Amino acid sequence: MTPPAPTDCAGALPRRVVVTGGAGFIGANLCRALAGVVEELLVLDDLSTGRLDNLDDLHGVTVVEGSILDAGALRDVLDGADAVVHLAARPSVARSIEDPGATHAVNATGTLRVLQAAVEAGRPHVIVASSSSVYGGSAVLPAREEAAPCPRSPYAASKLAAEGYARAYQESFGLPVLCFRFFNVFGPLQRADHAYAAVVPAFVSAALRHEPLPVHGDGSQTRDFTFVGSVVAVLVDALVRRVVAPGPVNLAFGGRCSVLELAGALEAVLGRSLPRHHLDPRPGDVRDSQADRTRLGELFPDLDPVALEEGLRRTISFVERQRDASAPLEPVGILLGGPGSPLSQS
């Protein structure tokens, strides 16, 4: 079958939405935007990296503890689904180098099973999360979706395989699919308490504990940091308009910030100097990353992403309130979208 052309049909949020990996960082933030807005919201998560307490205060969310490798669990949760946001994954480049088979099983085979279950459930709209890691060490920045992928780790290869399956199911079975490549997403609910923590939560956690910032390598490596509230806004808009595309779409906004510049931005937000502690580079990490946002802008022309410094402020505010049991918790929706959260207008 010929894949559908890019579309942006006006509409409303689907009635029944399934979020795989919905107890994880990005998934829980998406659920916080959708809870109470969609009629039925189901989460499928094996809780290997996600946490139930990320969803504790939400009403109208049904959580099913299970794996995307379980065909029966997928059939049950996708029955009657109008849309699926597939975020479940085994994250981390470093973990994939330690255990490539486990990463492939979840990220590649797991995505295949989600797509197959979606076809069997009547072809709901499917959004698939991929990663900027598929570009590898491309010398041409900002990276365009048309660039030849060059995965440098089993994690990147598994995400590229997931993209391939998404495109194949679009071509072969007419499944309406939108595949996003995420770039260094950060924000509230992102964990810093494990060895594979991303740089922003690791920096924020260390700074608030008045410890040196852990810098892997010399700190000159660059990233396109993307606040989770901006990512969620795009996902919600994609669900509302049932956006599909015949190829992957970068979900980032073309920023390019070195790790040391990130440390400087954090210093500016906190208003104090932050010492650094340099560690060995992480194996498999790419040197530089930056998205070309042309295709994203064509599909989502009304984007107004949260700037890095503002995203850091909201992340710090959330972490500080979590640490202070006496402080009333600000709604995460406000932290994601700011006063009068634009997410509520999606």
pLDDT tens digits along 268-291: 999 999 999 999 998 888 899 999
The pLDDT value given to residue 88: 98
190 part of a folded domain: yes
Is residue 212's pLDDT more than 80?
Answer: yes
The three-class DSSP label of residue 156 is: helix
Mean pLDDT of the region 169-179:
98
The pLDDT value given to residue 330: 56
The pLDDT value given to residue 223: 96
The values of phi and psi at residue 19, to 5°, are: -120, 110
The pLDDT value given to residue 4: 42
The pLDDT value given to residue 57: 84
Question: How far from 206 is each of 157, 265, 312, CA to CA, in Å?
Answer: 31, 15, 14
284 part of a folded domain: yes
The residue with tokens 């709604």 is 331
d(C-alpha 125, C-alpha 241), whole Å: 10
Residue 282, CA atoms < 13 Å, CB-side half-sphere: 23
Rounded (10°) CA dihedral 56, 57, 58, 59: 110
Mean pLDDT of the region 83-90:
98
The pLDDT value given to residue 342: 40
Query: Which has more pLDDT, 336 or 232?
Result: 232
192 part of a folded domain: yes
3 part of a folded domain: no
The pLDDT value given to residue 12: 85
- Whole-model pTM? 0.92
The pLDDT value given to residue 41: 98
d(C-alpha 276, C-alpha 203), whole Å: 10
Q: Give the pLDDT confidence of 286-330 residue by residue, as tens digits.
A: 899 999 999 999 999 998 999 999 999 999 999 998 887 555 555
Domain count, the chain: 1
80 part of a folded domain: yes
The pLDDT value given to residue 56: 87
CATH of residue 202's domain is 3.40.50.720
Q: Structural domain of residue 88, as residue ranges?
A: 16-339
Mean pLDDT of the region 330-336:
60
163 part of a folded domain: yes
69 part of a folded domain: yes
Closest CA to 285 of 226, 189, 219: 219
The residue with tokens 């969620």 is 232
Is residue 334's pLDDT more than 80?
Answer: no
344 part of a folded domain: no
Structure tokens at 31: 């659920």
The pLDDT value given to residue 285: 84
Is residue 340's pLDDT more than 70?
Answer: no
